[in-house]
Structure 1
Amino acid sequence: MISFDHVTKRYGGFTALDGVSFEARPGRVTGFLGPNGAGKSTAMRVAAGLTPATSGRATVLGRPYGTLPNPGRHVGMLLDASAQHAGRTGREVLTLGAILTGVDRRRVEETLDLVGLTEKEAGRRVRNYSLGMRQRLGIAHALLADPEVLVLDEPANGLDPAGIRWMRDLLRGYAARGGTVLLSSHLLNEIERVADDIVVIGHGRIVAGGTTRELLAGSGTTVRSADDARLRSALGTAGLSASPLAAGGLLVDATPEVVGAVALEAAVVLRELRSGDGRGLEEMFFDLTADAAREEVAA
C-alpha cells in the first residue's frame, strides 16, 4: 500500500504538489499520469523519502519510507534508470544491491534472467548499455529483494515492443501475487492495458482518480463532424448540452440516435458518432489536462 495524505511540496514560491491525496493498493497496478511538470516525479520522490513534503504525509506499507526497517527489502524503486554507476557491470550493480539489502546473491542471477539480460550483457559495463538495457537493469534492481511494493517512473523508456509487452506481463503477474505497483508512464495505451486504477495529476493537483473501467466508462455521445461549431449550435438549439473535446469533436449529453438526428436536420456531415463509453485513455487524459499540458513550439 502507498498512501498520500494531503501532501504539499513547495520550492520557494512554486508549489509542485498541492494537497495530493490518493492510494495505490495491494494486488493492483496504479497508473500515475500527468503532463511534464505536473508533479509525478516529485510525488514519487516524496514517497521514496528523497524529497521531504512541506506538509501532509506519504507512507509506504503504513509508514514513512525512511522508517521502514531495511526499506530496500520491502520497496523496489526505479526513479531514474541513468542513475547507475557507469563503471560497474550490470552484475556488479545487482551484487552490490544484494549485499546492501542482505539478499541471497543467488537472487542476482535469477533477476538477470527474469529481465532478459544475457550472460554477456550482465558482464558489460553500464556505460556501454543501451537505454533499454539500463531500463532492464533498473527493473532488475527494483525486483532484487522480491519486494512488496514497486514504484516505477517511466520504466518503459527505451524498451522495444517486445520489451514493453514483457514488462506488461511482469507487472500483471507481480500484482496478481499481491504486490502493489505505482507506475508512471507517457505510454498511455500501455497504461490503459496494464493499470487497474488510474490517478491523473495536473499543476500539482489530482484531477481524476478511480478504476480504469470507471474513468473510461464516460457517458453521452462522442461526435466529430465537418463543422463542429455549426453542429454545436444546432445541438444547443435542440436543448442539448455539448462540450468540446481537447482532441477535437464534441461530447454530447444525449444518445447517438438523437445526435445523429440533429446533425441530419442541420445538414452537418458526421465523421464519427459513437457512445461516450470507452472513449480511451488518451482522449480522457487530454480532456483532463488540457490546461496543464505544455505546447511545443517549432523553431
Structure 2
Amino acid sequence: MIEVQGVTRTYGGFTAVDDVTFRCEPGRVTGFLGPNGAGKSTTMRIMVGLTAPTKGRVTIDGRAFHDIPNPARHVGVLLDASAQHGGRTGREVLTLGARMMGLPDSRVDEMLAAVSLTPSEAKRRIRNYSLGMKQRLGIAHALLGDPKVLILDEPANGLDPAGIRWMRGLLKEYADRGGTVLLSSHLLHEVEQIADEMILIGRGRIVAQGDRATLLAQAGPAQTLVTSLDNAALASALSAAGHRAEAAGQGLRVDTAPEAVGRVALSAGVVLTDLRSGGAGLEDLFLELTADTQREGNAS
C-alpha cells in the first residue's frame, strides 16, 4: 500500500505539489493523471526518496522508502526509461541490478523473457535502443526484485499499440496477484482501460479521484445517443416511459442511461442500430478540471 499524506513541495516561490493526499491499495491499479507539468513526476520522486517534501510524508507498507531494507525487492520503480548508462547492454543493466539485490543471474533471463527482449537485443548497447525497448527494459528492472509495489511514470511512452496492450495485461496480472500499482500518464485513454481507480491532478493539486463510475457521475447526468429502424416509435415509447428524447443527427438524444433506452426499445419492439453514451465522458471531465493547466486556449 502507498499512502501519500499532505505532501507539498515548493521551489522558491513555485509550488510544484500542493497538499496532495491519496492512497493506493493492494490488488488495484491506480492511475495518476494530469497534464504535463501537473506535479505527477515530482510526487513520484518524493515517494521514492529522490526529492524531499517541503511538508507531508509518504509511506509504502507503513515505512518511508529510505527505511525499507533492500528497497528494490519491495518497490519496483520506473521514473525515466532513458536514465540508463548508454554504453551498457540491456543484460548488463539487469545483471547489475540483480546482483545489488542479491538475486541469481537466472532472474535476468526471466525478466528479459517477460518483457519480450530477445537475446540479441539484450546484448545491444542501450544507446542503440529505441524508446520502446528502453521502456521494456525499465519495466523489467522494476519487476526484477519481484516487488509488492510498482511505481511507474509514463511507462507507455514509446510503446507501439501492441506494446501498450502487452503492458496493460502485465500490470493487470500483477495487480490480480495482490500487487499495488501506481501508474502515471497524461493520456487518459491509456489509463482508463486498466485503472481501478484514477487520481486527477492539475497545478500540483488533486482535482478529482475515484473509480470510473464515480468520476463519470461528476461529469454530469447520463445521456444516450440512439438510432433505430423507427425513431418516431422509439421517441414515443421513451416519452411514455418518462424520458425526454430529441432529434440528434440520424437518431435521438435521450436524458437517461443506455441500459434504460435499451429496455424501452425491447419492450416497444423497436430494433436499435446504434446505442451509446452521449453524456460528458472522462475526457471531458479531465479537460474541464485541468482547463487552466492546458497550453491550448491559455496564452498567459
Alpha-carbon distance in structure 2 between the residues aligned to 1:209 and 1:293 = 19
Q: What's 2:216 paired with?
A: 216
Q: In the TM superposition, what are the counterparts of 1:224-239 in structure 2 within 5 Å? A: none
Q: Which residue of 1 aligns with 2:43?
A: 43
CA distance in 1, matches of 2:49, 2:70: 13
**3-state DSSP class of the match of 1:165?**
helix
101-110 vs 214-223, which deviates more? 214-223
Match of residue 253, structure 2, among 260, 263, 273: 273
User: 1:230: which partner in 2?
Assistant: none
Q: What SS is found at the alignment partner of 1:285?
A: helix
TM-score, normalised by the number of residues in structure 2: 0.81
Q: Aligned in 2, Cα 1:281/1:104: closer, same or farther, shift over 3 Å?
A: farther
| Aligned twin of 2:4 | 4
1:212 shift after superposition: 2.2
* Inter-partner Cα distance in structure 2 for 1:60 and 1:10: 23
Confirm or deny that 1:286 pairs with 2:287: yes
Contact 1:16/1:203 (<8 A) preserved: yes
Change over 3 Å in CA distance of 1:136–1:296 after alignment to 2: farther
Alpha-carbon contact 1:30-1:196 (below 8 Å) kept: yes
Q: CA 1:203/1:106 → structure 2, altered by over 3 Å: closer, same or farther?
A: same
Q: Closer, same or farther in 2 for the Cα pair 1:297/1:93, shift >3 Å?
A: same
- Contact between 2:292 and 2:298, CA under 8 Å: does it hold in 1? no
* Secondary structure, counterpart of 1:80 in structure 2: coil
- Residue 291 of structure 1 deviates from its aligned partner by 1.7
- Mapped contact 1:223–1:271 kept (Cα < 8 A): no
Alignment deviations for residues 38-70 of structure 1 (CA, whole Å, 9 cap, x no partner): 100000000011000001111111111111111
Q: Distance in 2 between matches of 1:162 and 1:130?
A: 15
Q: Where does residue 174 of structure 2 map in the other structure?
A: 174
Partner of 1:26: 26
In 1, Cα distance between equivalents of 2:294 and 2:224: 24
> Which residue identity lines up with residue 292 of structure 1 in the other structure?
T
**2:184 — aligned with what?**
184
Q: How far has the Cα of 1:124 moved from its partner?
A: 0.4
Distance verdict in 2 for CA 1:273–1:108, change over 3 Å: same
SS at match of 1:213: helix
Q: For structure 1, which segment, 169-178 or 180-189, has the greater mean C-alpha deviation from structure 2 after superposition?
A: 180-189
1:213 CA drift (Å): 2.5
Matched, 1:162 2:162: yes
Identity over the aligned pairs, expressed in percent? 61
Q: Which letter does structure 1 place at the counterpart of 2:94?
A: L
Task: Write the letter of the residue equivalent to 1:159.
Answer: L
The match for 2:69 is 69
Q: State how far apart, in whole Å, the 2-side matches of 1:97 and 1:104 are.
A: 10
Deviation of residue 271 (structure 1)?
8.8
State yes or no: 1:79 paired with 2:88.
Answer: no
Structure-2 change in CA distance of 1:270 and 1:175 (3 Å): same
Match of 1:154, as an amino acid?
Answer: E
The structure-2 alpha-carbon separation of the partners of 1:219 and 1:107, relative to structure 1 and needing over 3 Å to count, comes to same
Q: What SS is found at the alignment partner of 1:291?
A: helix
For the Cα contact (< 8 Å) 2:33–2:187, is it kept in 1?
A: no
Equivalent position amino acid for 1:273 in 2: R
Give per-residue Cα distances to partners, 1:70-105, cap 9 Å, x unaligned.
Answer: 111100000000000100000000000001111221
**1:108 offset after TM fit, Å?**
0.3
C-alpha RMSD of matched pairs (Å): 2.4
After superposition, residues 10-159 of structure 1 pair within 5 angstroms as: 10-159=10-159
Partners of 1:276 and 1:64 lie apart in 2 by 47
Alpha-carbon separation, structure 2, partners of 1:274 and 1:136: 45
- For the residue of structure 2 that corresponds to 1:194, the secondary structure is coil
Counterpart amino acid of residue 55 in structure 2: S
